[in-house]
Structure 1
Amino acid sequence: MGRCEPSGYCSFADLRCESGARYSRFASPPLAGRCTTVGGSEGGSSSTADDGFDTAFEDGSSSSASAVVDAGPPAVRTPVVPACGNGYLEDTEICDDGNLVDADGCNVDCVPSGTVRWTTLQQGDAGGNDYGFALALLPDGNIITAGRSAGDSGDAWFSRFDAVDGSLLRKWLNSTEQPEEARAVVIDDAANIYGAGWYRWADTSTRREDQLIGAYFDHAIEGGEPGGAVEQLWLHRADSPAHGDDRSYAAALRANRTQVVVFGKGGADTDIDSFVRGYPLGGPTPAWSSLAGIDARADEVRAGVVDADEHIYAAGVVTTNNNGRTDAWIGELGAPVGTSATWLWHARLGTATVDELAQAIAVADDDTLLVGGHVGLRAMWARFDRAGLELERWVDPGDQISEIHGIAVDGTGAFVTVGYVESLAHLEDITVTKYDVTGTRAWADRYDGDASGNDRARAVVVTEDDDVIVVGHAVTALGASDLWLRRYAP
Structure 2
Amino acid sequence: MLRTTAVIVITIINISGQTQEWVRRYDGPASKVDGGMAIAVDNDGNVYVTGRSANTPSTFECTTIKYDSSGTEQWISKYHGPATSGYTDTGWCITVDNGNNIYVAAASRDSLTIDDIATIKYNPAGDTLWIRRYNGPGDDYDWPFDIAVDDKSNVYITGRSVGAGTAHDYITLKYDSAGSEKWAKRYNGTGNGADEAYSIGVDHDGNVYVTGTSTGAGTGLDFATIKYDSLGNEVWVRRYHTTGEMDEFSSSLAVDSSGNLYVSGGTWKFLQGVPSDYITIKYNPAGDTVWSRRYNGPGNDDDIPEEIEVDRWGNVTVTGESWGGAGSRVDYLTIQYDPLGNENWQKRYDGPLHQIDRPSAIYVDARGNVYVTGKSRGSIDDDYLTVVYDHNGSEITVQRYDGPGDWADAPQDVVADDLGNFYVTGLSGGVNTTYDFATIKYSGIPGIEEGVDRHPRYQTTIIAGPLQLPEGKIYRIFDAAGRRISIDQIRPGIYFIEVDGRISQKVVKIR
Range into which the TM-score falls when normalised by the shorter chain:
0.5 to 0.7
Question: 2: CA distance between counterparts of 1:408 and 1:305?
Answer: 11
1:131 to 9, 22, 35: 35
1:200 to 105, 109, 115: 109
Match of 1:187 in 2: 96
Q: Please state how far the C-alpha of 1:304 moved relative to its aligned partner.
A: 0.2
The 5-angstrom pairing of residues 258-269 of structure 1 reads: 258-268=153-163
Q: Deviations over 1:13-41 (max 9, x none)?
A: xxxxxxxxxxxxxxxxxxxxxxxxxxxxx
* SS of residue paired to 1:243: coil
Match of 1:389 in 2: 289
2:44 to 124, 131, 140: 140
Q: Deviations over 1:434-463 (max 9, x none)?
A: 747454136856643665366554334343
Q: Please state how far the C-alpha of 1:413 moved relative to its aligned partner.
A: 5.0
Match of 1:489 in 2: 445
Question: 1: CA distance between counterparts of 2:433 and 2:246?
Answer: 34
Relative to structure 1, the CA distance from residue 134 to residue 294 in structure 2 (aligned partners, 3 Å threshold; closer, same or farther) is same
Q: Please state how far the C-alpha of 1:317 moved relative to its aligned partner.
A: 0.8
* SS of residue paired to 1:287: strand
AA in 2 matched with 1:125 = G
Relative to structure 1, the CA distance from residue 320 to residue 347 in structure 2 (aligned partners, 3 Å threshold; closer, same or farther) is closer
Q: Please state how far the C-alpha of 1:354 moved relative to its aligned partner.
A: 4.5
Question: 1: CA distance between counterparts of 2:323 and 2:63?
Answer: 27
AA in 2 matched with 1:198 = A
Relative to structure 1, the CA distance from residue 321 to residue 344 in structure 2 (aligned partners, 3 Å threshold; closer, same or farther) is closer
Q: Which has the higher strand share?
A: 2
Match of 1:55 in 2: none
Q: Deviations over 1:302-325 (max 9, x none)?
A: 1101011222111111023459x4
Relative to the length of structure 2, the TM-score reads 0.60
AA in 2 matched with 1:407 = I
Say if 2:412 is the partner of 1:458: yes
Q: Percent identity?
A: 18
Relative to structure 1, the CA distance from residue 169 to residue 484 in structure 2 (aligned partners, 3 Å threshold; closer, same or farther) is same
Kindly tell me the number of residue pairs found equivalent between the two proteins: 361
* SS of residue paired to 1:184: strand
Q: Deviations over 1:88-128 (max 9, x none)?
A: xxxxxxxxxxxx6xxxxxxx63667xx56557463331322
Relative to structure 1, the CA distance from residue 477 to residue 411 in structure 2 (aligned partners, 3 Å threshold; closer, same or farther) is farther
Say if 2:240 is the partner of 1:348: yes
Is the contact made by 1:418 and 1:470 (CA closer than 8 Å) also made in structure 2? no
Q: Please state how far the C-alpha of 1:396 moved relative to its aligned partner.
A: 5.6
Structure 1, unaligned runs of 5 or more = 1-83, 86-99, 101-107, 220-229
AA in 2 matched with 1:346 = R
Match of 1:214 in 2: 120
Say if 2:267 is the partner of 1:375: yes
Larger Rg: 1
CA RMSD of aligned residues (A): 3.9
The 5-angstrom pairing of residues 427-438 of structure 1 reads: 431=332, 433=334, 435=336, 437=338, 438=343
Structure 2, unaligned runs of 5 or more = 1-9, 269-274, 350-371, 383-407, 447-511
Q: Deviations over 1:423-444 (max 9, x none)?
A: 99xxx99958474745413685
The 5-angstrom pairing of residues 67-466 of structure 1 reads: 109=14, 117=20, 120=23, 122-126=25-29, 127-150=31-54, 153-163=59-69, 168-176=73-81, 177=84, 178-203=87-112, 207-219=113-125, 230-255=126-151, 257-268=152-163, 270-283=166-179, 285-297=180-192, 298-321=194-217, 325-336=220-231, 341-350=233-242, 352-364=244-256, 368-376=260-268, 378=276, 380=278, 382-386=280-284, 387-389=287-289, 391-395=291-295, 397=297, 399=299, 403-411=304-312, 413=314, 417=318, 431=332, 433=334, 435=336, 437=338, 438-441=343-346, 447-448=375-376, 451-452=380-381, 456-465=410-419
Q: Please state how far the C-alpha of 1:388 moved relative to its aligned partner.
A: 4.8
AA in 1 matched with 2:174 = G
Q: Please state how far the C-alpha of 1:262 moved relative to its aligned partner.
A: 1.4
Is the contact made by 1:405 and 1:459 (CA closer than 8 Å) also made in structure 2? no
AA in 2 matched with 1:344 = W
Q: Deviations over 1:392-439 (max 9, x none)?
A: 335461657564443334456555555567999xxx999584747454
Relative to structure 1, the CA distance from residue 305 to residue 111 in structure 2 (aligned partners, 3 Å threshold; closer, same or farther) is farther
Q: Deviations over 1:173-207 (max 9, x none)?
A: 2134332111121212222111112212234xxx2
Is the contact made by 1:405 and 1:457 (CA closer than 8 Å) also made in structure 2? no
Q: Please state how far the C-alpha of 1:280 moved relative to its aligned partner.
A: 1.3
Question: 2: CA distance between counterparts of 1:366 and 1:111?
Answer: 37
Question: 2: CA distance between counterparts of 1:306 and 1:253?
Answer: 8
Is the contact made by 1:419 and 1:432 (CA closer than 8 Å) also made in structure 2? yes
Is the contact made by 1:347 and 1:388 (CA closer than 8 Å) also made in structure 2? no
Question: 1: CA distance between counterparts of 2:344 and 2:73?
Answer: 34
Question: 2: CA distance between counterparts of 1:442 and 1:252?
Answer: 29
Q: Deviations over 1:322-346 (max 9, x none)?
A: 59x422232212331xxx5335222
Q: Deviations over 1:336-370 (max 9, x none)?
A: 1xxx5335222325464544322322124675323
Relative to structure 1, the CA distance from residue 201 to residue 362 in structure 2 (aligned partners, 3 Å threshold; closer, same or farther) is same
Relative to structure 1, the CA distance from residue 404 to residue 489 in structure 2 (aligned partners, 3 Å threshold; closer, same or farther) is farther
